[in-house]
Amino acid sequence: MQQVNLYQVELQKTEPDYCAAIIYIILGYLIFIGLVVSLILYYISAQEIRSKTELQEQADFWNTQLDIAYRQHPEPKVDDILLRSIEGYESQISRNENVLEYLSSRKEVIRTRKLSIYLEALTQIKQDNLWLTNVSIKKDGKSMSIKGQALEASALPEYIKKISDLDVFRSMEFVVFDLKRVGGTMKFVVSSEQQEKSIEDFLESAESQN
């Protein structure tokens, strides 16, 4: 009986060659992809470095220009005397504003007192057959218009005379602006303008008497 040696080289089972080729191809692709990714990352980093370098160069350029400008145009030194003068002017302006505010408030007080004095004076005058329907005071008391009615024509001149004799109205010139008869009464409008003596003078004289 003849024996067969299974371990002979001719009869041994061998792996096919194409498996090794596939492995080599895959390794080649991986190496190629790695190189491509490395190149891309290198390009990106190079661009970032270039951008930072350009920005740094621009910053250095402008810093140099600023240094040159500072040297050519140094910051002016403010004199202490000038500073004190400015502070003095500011203080003077503040005081002037306070004075103007006081004068404005004082003017409003005088105006209010002026109107109250006029109205009080009108209420003191008594005239038969005559009554007032409207009193209008304008121009801070320098102009006044009086409207009313009278039963007799002689009542109006008497009333105007009584008004003119009052101290508060001595600087006023009263003129009959309108006069007409309506039914059994006569409607009139008397206007006045301040002439010489002002109400401020009257207030001062009244205060001095008090």
| 112-115-119-120 Cα dihedral, nearest 10 degrees | 50
In a domain, 128, yes or no: yes
Tell me what pLDDT residue 196 has: 53
Burial of 28 (0-12, 13-18, 19+ CB in 10 A): exposed
Number of domains in the chain: 1
In a domain, 78, yes or no: no
pLDDT digits (tens, 9 = 90+) for 178-201: 888 888 889 999 988 876 555 555
Question: Residue 130's domain is classified under what CATH number?
Answer: 3.30.1360.100
Q: Which pLDDT band holds residue 119 (cuts at 50, 70, 90)? A: confident
Buried b / exposed e over 107-131, threshold 16 CB at 10 Å, is: eeeeeeebeebbeeebeeeebebbe
Q: Comparing 57 with 8, which gets the higher pLDDT?
A: 57
In a domain, 125, yes or no: yes
In a domain, 37, yes or no: no
In a domain, 158, yes or no: yes
- Tokens representing 83 are 């500073």
pLDDT surpassing 80 at residue 165: yes
Q: Comparing 8 with 155, which gets the higher pLDDT?
A: 155
In a domain, 182, yes or no: yes
Percent of the chain with pLDDT over 90: 6
Structural domain range at position 198: 104-209
Span 23-43, mean pLDDT?
Answer: 87
In a domain, 201, yes or no: yes
User: Cβ neighbours of residue 149 under 8 Å, at least 6 residues apart?
Assistant: 130, 131, 133, 185, 186, 187, 188
Cβ neighbours around 57 below 10 Å, total: 10
In a domain, 170, yes or no: yes
- φ/ψ of residue 103, rounded to 5: -65, -35
